[in-house]
Structure 1
Amino acid sequence: MIEVRRLRVLRALADHGTVTAAAEVLHLTPSAVSQQLAALESEVGQELLERRGRRVAITSAGRLLLAHTDTILTEVERAEDAMRLHANGVVGEVRITAFSTAISLLVAPALARLRETSPGLDLVIRDAEGHQGITQLLDGDADIAIAVEHRGSPRPDDHRLVRIPLYAEPFVAVLPPTHPAATAATGATAAASSPGTASTPSTASTGAAAADQIELTVLAGDDWVMPSPGNPIRDVVLLACEQAGFEPRVVHQSDDFHAVAALVAAGGGVSLVPRLAVPALAVTRPLTEPVPTRRVYAAVRQSRADHPLVTATLAVLTEVAEKL
């Protein structure tokens, strides 16, 4: 195997003409330069130099090796620069796990912005529902996990993790178009906005919004469409129903909110869905207080919390979250 440092000695000799001059440039003794060149000849198995009095000339084999030496030394310098930048936190890879809605609303916009502000940063994004993201984070398979607060979440005082709140969004009821709560709210909204009322536009809007609200207990007797066990959304919804004094009758299960909305629209039951995740054509109604809320946070391992690329990514994620 050819050692790169000996190629540097050969290049210095070619550039400066004598062993003595090469030694001065390389901060070596002439004897050390001669030893390195002899070792290089041994490595390639060919004579690279021929003596001509006090000077040495490079053989045809040496010139051939020099042609490759320039390429090799260039790539070595690039590798050294890249490693230096990596060590300084300027370039590298950050792996993010997130649930699908957070990828659409949060991670994808952050990815676009980071491509402009941190060109040396490579984001690798993986979809991870439920507790999977935190598990992958703790196992070292991710650098940042975006997760939902629920009863199974790591405790806030878990010394392994640093948690950064991102955003919170209320749940809304998703109803079949023929559901009494949906049709009653529609009628109330129409009455609030009909001609001849004394309300100003802003008052009418407020009245309509208030009329739209339903109590969670109104849905106690319905069939429910619910996320699968292990999904933190299911845990949040079950806890809200429990606090409202009933246990929902779960008939259908899906972790895809578009599928949930389709099942509800087909009359399969009712559901609660985070507001930002509701498909556009779904029939929804806000809930009266207390409203269940999806609280989304980012988590990183303590050992990576201060890494420049991780902090840069978290900063952009936080900026995007503030606009949701």
Structure 2
Amino acid sequence: MAEWDLRKLRILRTLRERGTVTATAEALHMTPSAVSQQLTNLARQLGVPLLEAQGRRVRLTDAARLVLSHAEAVFEQLERADAALAAYARGDAGEVRVGAFPTAVPALVVPAVRALRASHPRISVRVREAEAAEAYELLAAGEVDLALSLAAEAPSAADPRLTRVPLLTDPLDVALPAGHPLARAGRLRLPDLAAEPWIFGGSGPWSDITRRACEAAGFSPHQGHSASGWTAILAMVEAGMGVALVPRMAAGRRADVVLRELGPDRPVRHVVGAVRKGAESGTAVTRVLRALHDAAATRAGG
């Protein structure tokens, strides 16, 4: 196989465009002798004559024109590669792998992906659903580039591996059966529900959040039923089997469930993004983080 040298092929193409060795040397900031030497070496590498004398000038041979006809496709592809690399360096292109806890996917990640499709269509987001604590493990292991999780599940802010970015303060509302005596009460506080059967998971972050919120209000919740999925929790509330704390970001609408705000002292959960140190600037990750910020701001404003 012939030995192809892109730098020398560019010199040959410039000679075709400029017409003389001297004009080619000026265009490429070379000496005429260096141009001639490079083209002589290219002819030797390819095994065909590339130039022939025409009076005091030189002209391209048919072999040289054949070589350039194929080289043009290579130059075109390299231009595309340069443009793609420039876009990647600006953060306008590339793939970003996002690990996100279940309720964050429809509430934040999907709106962010939709916005990015319009503003930066060459950024591809690949989503992996993971529980809150697992999202950080995936990030630290290099399996995702950006993790969406809860601050309560995050490693220490002093962790040298990660940079945490606050995204959203998500209020917790109380889900009550529509026929519950307190469903239409003028003002509702958590202690008003101390004697109720509560529905929450047997373990994991939501169990911890529910217990902490109730204990901060002065009582320990009686767990009437155990469930971790919001569909199951809200179905049981709808059936009058108990009450539940529901993050506003996760709440679905059911005909016979009333969601009540708990006032200024309501419990909240803090949603954060996290990236590996250094990845928060100058890459497509920045664009995705910005889109997530915008989705969070829209949700908080709504």
Return the TM-score normalized by structure 1: 0.75
CA distance in 2, matches of 1:211, 1:272: 13
Deviation at 1:11, TM superposition (A): 0.6
Q: Deviations over 1:73-116 (max 9, x none)?
A: 22223322332343344544433322232222222222333344
Does 1:161 pair with 2:155?
A: no
Asked whether the 8 Å contact 2:190–2:214 carries over to 1, the reply is: no
Specify the alignment match of 2:233 in structure 1.
260
Q: Tell me whether 7-16 or 263-272 shows the greater mean CA deviation.
A: 263-272
Specify the alignment match of 2:192 in structure 1.
215
Q: Which has the higher helix share?
A: 1
Task: List aligned pairs for 1:49-88, cutoff 5 A.
Answer: 49-88=51-90
Q: Given the superposition, is the C-alpha separation of residues 170 and 90 from structure 1 closer, same or farther in structure 2, using an over 3 Å criterion?
A: closer
CA distance in 1, matches of 2:236, 2:50: 78
The AA in structure 1 aligned to 2:271 is V
The AA in structure 1 aligned to 2:136 is I
Task: List aligned pairs for 1:118-197, cutoff 5 A.
Answer: 118-119=120-121, 121-150=123-152, 152-175=153-176, 182-186=179-183, 189=184
- Aligned pair count reads 294
DSSP-derived class of the 1:184 partner: coil
Specify the alignment match of 1:192 in structure 2.
none
Specify the alignment match of 1:275 in structure 2.
248
Asked whether the 8 Å contact 2:174–2:262 carries over to 1, the reply is: no
Q: Given the superposition, is the C-alpha separation of residues 28 and 8 from structure 1 closer, same or farther in structure 2, using an over 3 Å criterion?
A: same
Deviation at 1:264, TM superposition (A): 4.3
Q: Deviations over 1:251-294 (max 9, x none)?
A: 5433x312332344456655332123122005245376864322
Structure 1 residue runs of 4 or more that deviate by more than 6 Å after TM superposition: none
DSSP-derived class of the 1:100 partner: coil
Q: 2:26 aligns with which of 6, 24, 27?
A: 24
- The alignment yields a C-alpha RMSD, in angstroms, of 3.2
Specify the alignment match of 2:293 in structure 1.
318
Return the TM-score normalized by structure 2: 0.80
CA distance in 1, matches of 2:282, 2:22: 46
DSSP-derived class of the 1:131 partner: helix
The AA in structure 2 aligned to 1:286 is R
Specify the alignment match of 1:48 in structure 2.
50
Specify the alignment match of 2:111 in structure 1.
109
Specify the alignment match of 2:39 in structure 1.
37
CA distance in 1, matches of 2:23, 2:180: 93
Q: Given the superposition, is the C-alpha separation of residues 252 and 168 from structure 1 closer, same or farther in structure 2, using an over 3 Å criterion?
A: same
DSSP-derived class of the 1:307 partner: coil
Using the aligned pairs only, state the percent identity.
37
The AA in structure 2 aligned to 1:7 is L
CA distance in 1, matches of 2:187, 2:272: 30
CA distance in 2, matches of 1:26, 1:40: 17
Deviation at 1:176, TM superposition (A): 5.4
Asked whether the 8 Å contact 1:214–1:287 carries over to 2, the reply is: no
Q: 2:207 aligns with which of 206, 211, 234?
A: 234
CA distance in 2, matches of 1:245, 1:183: 20
Specify the alignment match of 2:16 in structure 1.
14
Asked whether the 8 Å contact 1:216–1:241 carries over to 2, the reply is: no
Q: Tell me whether 69-78 or 303-312 shows the greater mean CA deviation.
A: 303-312
